[in-house]
Chain A
Amino acid sequence: MKELTGYLRKDGRFGIRNHLLVLPTVSCVNGVVNRIAREVPEAVPAPHAHGCGRGGPRDLEILFRVLTGMILHPNVGGVVLIGLGCEISNTKRLLPLIQGAGKPVAVFNVQEDGGSLATARKGVEAARRILAELADQKRAAMPWEGLLVGMECGGSDAWSGITANVALGAVSDALVSKGATVVFGENTEMIGTAHILARRAKDEQVAQKIRSLVERAERTAREVMGDLAALIISPGNMDGGMSTIAEKSMGCIVKGGSTTINEVVDYGETPKEKGLILQDGPGYDGDSMAGLAASGAQVMFFSTGRGTPAGFPAVPVIKVASNNRIFKAMEDDMDINAGSLVEGRPLTDLRSEMLELLIRVINGEKTKAEANGMEVFTFMTVHPPF
């Protein structure tokens, strides 16, 4: 099998891209970020809707973890960080968290740097300077142990749990056997499978964490949805052949494969263990991808049946269509057709195609979402804004 290459970072992690990230601390300065990105098209902008207006401890923990996770992300070689000044996640509070980032981070604040236009000009200058610095960096051989792959499903259909997620699971198992780490989340989609996941836990402590996060997901579903919680397994699901919530959820968690679950990490938290990791995160695609990315996933597989084109800033996303129809209808968005399983293609054959594509993507080939510029950056919040 071909060799993997990546950019070795000071913290020992490998990046599979060497992007310059232009990140706002708060939505108020998205315009500055977008202006810089127009002037410097090689930069990866990551505007978002957060950074202020929520003050609870859990929301703050997530906000700071995701922003620092993006700045420290191994695929990011340098950062232009645009702050406002009066926001919750202001640069004064963020900077201590990214000390020793081991990469160039240029910091500006619109309220101190002369307003939005002047800040954008300074940001453009810094972006060009950092890009020149990044251009000199070279790829080095990267071991499988240095790879963290996120597994995500969204816009699912009746085929997702039969084809695409089964294929993702086969890839997960293959990656774990090579020594790589695989992280998957979406705890609302684990309801009914706590006993199955807990049985696969490395030890009782991990099993207990799994049981409690699935219980919490179920409790939240009941609180938020009331009587509608039963629709988590809906009449439509049943018409589609799902008989129980456990069966429906299996179609989702099968994407993590069948190996031992070595660790449960919080949303956006970096795993300490290798192998298969479960993340305590939401099912909503964008929020889930942000959690996987902030955990340090350098690349993601994303299965879809209805056909979602969304990618993620600085992190290549490989789209796996669950059926032939959507693969053909959205050919420019889909990287892999798992619908081919329905035509009798052996799973091992599809798995090989996916692993070969993964290696090419790691080594620099753009995924469809990457090439199309379909990045979206949104992340989880737990309370409404004040």
Chain B
Amino acid sequence: MENALIIHPRDNVAVALKDLSEGETVAAEGIEPFTALEEIPFGHKVALRDISEGEEIIKYGETVAVSNRPIRKGEWVHTHNLESQRWKR
């Protein structure tokens, strides 16, 4: 049963379709299942692969943010590990 959605083939994050707990298997169409390294709330992003510091976060096939620290596959991707290209906080 799929519990995450990859919106565009270029994306390096998937969207959690339910609250995922630490250690839970993340399953999405077209990829090998992997483990969530931490809790991923519904609607939030999980890294589909290792993302290095300064790398683009791609969702909808487009750059929506830039990471500000290395992010491991299975980690939660949100405001704590990325920056807006547009409006810097």
Contacts and interface: CB of A to CB of B under 8 A. Distances in A.
A341 B6 CA distance: 11
Nearest to B40: A241
Nearest to B87: A245
Interface stretch (A73-81, A98-106, A246-254): A246-254
Given A241-B15, A341-B5, A158 B62 contact: no
A71 B78 CA distance: 49
Contacts of A166: 7
Interface in B1-59: 1-2, 5, 7, 15-17, 29, 41-45, 57, 59
A258 B59 contact: no
Contacts of B59: 247, 250
Contact of B41 (A241, A243, A342): A241
A246 B84 CA distance: 8
B29 A246 contact: no
Nearest to B78: A243
Given A240-B43, A241-B45, A341-B5, A246 B65 contact: yes
Contacts of A193: 62
B54 to A, nearest CB: 15
A118 interface: no
B71 interface: no
A245 B84 contact: yes
Contacts of B57: 243
A233 B88 CA distance: 13
B86 A243 contact: no
A346 B62 CA distance: 21
A115 B57 CA distance: 64
Given A246-B64, A247-B64, A344 B86 contact: no
A166 B29 CA distance: 15
A166 B15 CA distance: 13
Contacts of B16: 241
Interface in A227-275: 230, 233, 238, 240-241, 243-247, 250-251, 254, 258
A162 interface: yes
A178 to B, nearest CB: 22
Contact of B17 (A196, A342, A346): A342
Contacts of A192: 84, 86-87
A145 to B, nearest CB: 27
A343 to B, nearest CB: 8
Interface string A187-211: 0000011001000000000000000
B82 A244 contact: yes
A99 B30 CA distance: 56
Given A243-B45, A247-B64, A254 B7 contact: yes
Contact of B77 (A243, A342, A344): A243
B12 to A, nearest CB: 13
Contacts of B86: 192, 244-246
A240 B41 CA distance: 8
Contacts of B78: 238, 241, 243
A246 B7 contact: no
A381 to B, nearest CB: 29
B13 to A, nearest CB: 10
A165 B62 CA distance: 15
A246 B7 CA distance: 15
Interface of A: 158-159, 162, 166, 192-193, 196, 230, 233, 238, 240-241, 243-247, 250-251, 254, 258, 341-342, 344, 346
Given A238-B78, A244-B85, A246-B62, 5 more contacts: A162-B43, A233-B87, A241-B15, A241-B44, A244-B87
Top 4 A-B residue pairs of the complex, sorted by shortest distance between their CB atoms: A241-B43, A247-B64, A241-B44, A244-B84
27 contacts: A158-B42, A162-B17, A162-B43, A192-B84, A193-B62, A230-B87, A240-B43, A241-B15, A241-B16, A241-B45, A243-B79, A244-B64, A244-B65, A244-B82, A244-B84, A245-B86, A246-B84, A246-B86, A247-B59, A247-B64, A247-B65, A250-B60, A258-B61, A342-B5, A342-B17, A344-B29, A346-B29
